[in-house]
């Protein structure tokens, strides 16, 4: 297995929906048109490939100067725990070395907290901040 990280430019609906389904993100797969538009309007998208097979994705939104928000990080379950997610994050961060703030939101679990801390992120609370979110169901 040799994983390459490169910009994901050509949206493939089946490929993307299968990736999101594989990790159980049904709130996205139930809104395929929203997901397609989200990809079209992302600041940057990177894909992790095993040969020609898409095995992971990371998406960033924002202005690219004062803020970048890491929106999605997904890795196929059979490819997890191989450093692919971390490499996706590192590669995305290398694209924006001078951005004032890079943020993300994730599940509140020990596993995700440990992963993002290992990638250099801190919870808002450790910086004297609080995050808020509003979701349209």
**Interval 131-137 mean pLDDT:** 86
Q: Is residue 133 part of a domain?
A: no
Q: What is the percentage of the chain residues whose pLDDT exceeds 90? A: 85
Q: Give the domain extent around 52.
A: 3-104
pLDDT score of 97 more than 80: yes
**Nearest 5°: CA angle at 59, between 8 and 97?**
100
Judging by beta carbons within 10 Å of its beta carbon (0-12, 13-18, 19+), is residue 131 exposed, middle or buried?
exposed
Instruction: Report the DSSP beta bridge partners of residue 3.
Output: 50
Count of the separate structural domains present in the chain:
1
The pLDDT value given to residue 26: 86
CATH number at residue 60: 3.40.630.30
In angstroms, the Cα distances linking 68 to 30, 44, 71, 105 are: 26, 10, 9, 12
Q: Is residue 114 part of a domain?
A: no
Of residues 97, 15, 95, 25, the one with CA closest to residue 49: 15
Q: Is residue 90 part of a domain?
A: yes
pLDDT tens, residue by residue, 16-25: 999 999 998 8
**Can you read off the two tokens belonging to residue 112?**
């995700």
Q: Is residue 110 part of a domain?
A: no
């Amino acid at each position: 297995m040799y994983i390459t990280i490169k910009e994901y430019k050509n949206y493939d609906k089946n490929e993307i929906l299968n990736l999101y389904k594989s990790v159980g993100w049904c709130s996205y797969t139930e809104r395929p048109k929203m997901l397609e538009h989200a990809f079209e309007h992302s600041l940057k998208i990177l894909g992790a490939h095993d040969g020609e097979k898409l095995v992971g994705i990371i998406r960033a939104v924002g202005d690219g100067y004062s803020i970048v928000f890491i929106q999605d990080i997904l890795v196929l379950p059979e490819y997890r725990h191989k450093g692919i997610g971390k490499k996706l994050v590192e590669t995305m961060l290398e694209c924006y070395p001078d951005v004032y703030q890079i943020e993300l939101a994730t599940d509140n679990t020990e596993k995700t907290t440990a992963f993002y801390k290992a990638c250099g992120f801190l919870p808002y609370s450790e910086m004297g901040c609080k995050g808020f979110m509003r979701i349209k169901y």
